[in-house]
Amino acid sequence: MSILLSPVTFRGLTLKNRVVLSPMCQYSAKGGVANDYHFAHLARFGLGGFGAVMVEATAVTPEGRISYADLGLWSDDHVPPLARIVRFLRDQGAASGIQIGHAGRKASSAVWWRGRFDETEEEKRLVGFEDWPTVGPSAIPHAPDASEYKVPHALTVLEMDDIRAAFVAATQRAERAGFDFVEVHSAHGYLLHQFLSPVANQRDDAFGGSLENRMRFPLSVVKAVRDVWPSEKPMFVRISAQDGIEGGWTVDDSIIYAGALKDIGADLIDCSSGGFEGGIFSVGPGYQVALARSVRDGARLPTMAVGLITTPDHAEAIVREGDADLVALGRIALDDPNWPLHARLQLSGAEDPYAEWPRQAGFVVRQKDRALRLRGFAPDLS
Ligand SMILES: Cc1cc2nc3c(=O)[nH]c(=O)nc-3n(C[C@H](O)[C@H](O)[C@H](O)COP(=O)(O)O)c2cc1C
């Protein structure tokens, strides 16, 4: 019996399995509005058998976008196209989540696949190019030598209150769109992580200095989100469990932060890492799984593991051995949007390994495999 492919419940939400589509920016929106590309991109993971599908980092203010092409939730106009995606995913039996965030000093940066602002004037018009001043805990740029990263304005407490209010409003819109869960983005060197880490936070007020002070703003944002998010719906938080930088944020800090997040009602910590210039990591299969394990054991709450988890056997082992409760897939899901369906054919114990396919396709895929004696019909070689 596969644990990975068995249901799991958080508050009032039961996921049909423990495979989650990791949030991935697609840099394909204009004015923050989801379009047909986003629908098709996300819909295929619902068809592909994911237990939950998470929408990419979605900005709570226009200035909080990583790039001009990010999704947003700062306006009611953003709700209907997201609601359409949610409805479709629900029809496929997939839960839907949305990651809400603010990029802080990493906002207004280049579209990832471009790497820099190289849009021609014609392209700028077509893609809705925008560039704007950034904000952060302190006036320290993300990368002093890169023209795409500006020196941020150090936020005043009143401006921080406005950003918290924007998180609240975005959460309420996410609820109106029908999302089953929300994830607060507190990772990857974006605004909340900037407050947490001494690498970016050199404030000398109540929001800088000690660990307790650096956690104050992020915790207040997460608490404000939890307060307006329905109590029967789970709230996840993505963290960078370590900066990989001397003097930066550490796994021990993450365990303390996760404990405080749990106390204010976080249901799961999604454990990633890094996000600041100069972070050193050794990247390989499951390279962040140990972080999910440390946070899970240290703070005693559910975690999600992510990062080069690509095979069903590996994902199954992560859940079975208690390293994490959920497994998030990023690039492998882009490579194979049917990953969970294929996992079901590979992992033993499923009664009918074709049952989870959309009914429009499953019976003919089964036919094809039977004719070719493949997968579910492969001769037993033992
Ligand atoms: C194209 C792309 C966009 C991404 N955008 C986001 C994002 O919006 N929010 C986030 O927290 N992580 C983002 N990530 C990180 C992924 O969610 C994931 O943590 C990372 O890719 C490692 O998992 P993988 O090895 O399975 O791809 C992105 C990754 C990729 C490849």
Q: According to the model, what pLDDT value does residue 1 have?
A: 87
Please give the structure tokens belonging to residue 372: 């070719």
Q: Are residues 226 and 338 in the same domain?
A: yes
DSSP label of 144: T
pLDDT tens for residues 201-211? 999 999 999 99
pLDDT of residue 148: 78
Q: Which pLDDT does position 292 carry in this prediction? A: 98
Verify that 75 and 209 share a domain, yes or no: yes
Which residues line ligand 1 at a C-beta cut-off of 6 Å? 22-25, 56-57, 99, 185, 187-188, 238, 272, 306-308, 329-332
pLDDT one-digit tens code per residue, 46-91: 999 999 999 999 999 999 999 999 999 999 999 999 999 999 999 9
Confidence (pLDDT) at 348: 74
Q: Tell the burial category of 51 from Cβ atoms under 10 Å away from its Cβ (0-12, 13-18, 19+).
A: buried
381: confidence class by pLDDT, cuts 50, 70, 90: low
Q: Which two tokens stand for residue 27?
A: 């840099």
State whether 99 and 115 are in the same domain.
yes
What is the rounded CA–CA span in Å between residue 355 and residue 340?
12
Average pLDDT of 87-106?
A: 98
Residue 151 has pLDDT above 90, yes or no: yes
Listed in sequence order, the DSSP H helices in the chain are 36-47, 79-91, 121-127, 157-177, 191-196, 211-228, 251-263, 289-299, 312-320, 331-335, 339-346, 359-372
Is pLDDT of 41 > 90? yes
Q: Is residue 3 part of a domain?
A: no
Active-site residue list: 190
Residue 147: the pLDDT is 74
In a domain, 345, yes or no: yes
* Mean per-residue pLDDT of the chain: 96
Q: What is the pLDDT of residue 276?
A: 97
Ligand 1 center to 337 CA (angstroms) = 15
Answer for the pair 301, 273: CB distance below 8 angstroms, yes or no: no
Co-location of 310 and 185 in the same domain: yes
The best mutation among 19, 20, 21, 25 to test binding of ligand 1, ranked by most ligand atoms within 8 Å of the C-beta, falls on 25
Over range 190-212, report the average pLDDT: 98
Residue 329 contacts residue 19 (beta carbons within 8 Å): yes
Judge if 236 and 366 occupy the same domain. no
Range of the domain at 381: 357-382
Q: Does 138 lie in the same domain as 255?
A: yes
Using DSSP bridges, classify how beta strands 153-154 and 13-15 pair: parallel, antiparallel or unpaired.
unpaired
Token pair of 74, please? 């700062």
Taking the CA atoms of residue 79, residue 80, residue 82 and residue 83 in that order, the dihedral angle to the nearest 10 degrees is: 110
**For residue 333, which atom of ligand 1 is closest to its CA?**
26
Q: Which residues contact 185 (CB under 8 A, 6 or more apart)?
A: 23, 57, 99, 100, 101, 102, 192, 238
C-alpha to C-alpha distance for 158 and 163, rounded to whole angstroms: 9
Ligand 1 center–CA 183 separation, angstroms: 14
What is the mean predicted confidence (pLDDT) over 1-25? 97
Looking at the structure, tell me whether residues 51 and 111 fall in a common domain: yes
Q: 157 CA to middle of ligand 1, Å? A: 31
Rounded to the nearest 5°, which phi and psi values hold at 101?
-165, 180
Whichever domain contains 284, its CATH number is 3.20.20.70
> Is the domain of 325 the same as that of 361?
no
382 — pLDDT class (breaks 50, 70, 90): low
Residue whose tokens read 């306006």: 75
Work out the percent of the chain whose per-residue pLDDT is above 90.
94
pLDDT at 15 over 90: yes
3 state DSSP class of 230: coil
Listed residue (95, 97, 128) closest to 111, CA to CA? 128
Residue 144 has pLDDT above 90, yes or no: no
Q: What confidence tier does 40 reach under pLDDT thresholds 50, 70, 90?
A: very high
Mean pLDDT within 119-141: 96
What is the predicted pLDDT for the residue at 352? 86
| Count of C-beta atoms within a 10 Å radius of residue 258 | 25
**Closest Cα partner for 61 from 86, 43, 45, 78?**
78
Using alpha carbons, select from 304, 298, 218 the residue that is nearest to residue 264: 218
Q: Which of 193, 191, 198, 228 is nearest to 63 (CA)?
A: 191
Range of lowest pLDDT (147-151, 310-314, 377-381):
377-381
Are 184 and 171 in contact by the 8 Å Cβ rule? The answer is no
Q: Is residue 187 part of a domain?
A: yes
* Interval 310-341: pLDDT, tens: 999 999 999 999 999 999 999 999 999 999 99
Model-level pTM? 0.97
Q: Do 73 and 118 lie in a common domain?
A: yes
With respect to residue 21, please indicate whether it lies within any of the assigned structural domains: yes
271 pLDDT above the threshold of 80: yes
* Number of structural domains in the chain: 2
Helices (H) and strands (E) in the chain, counts: 12, 13
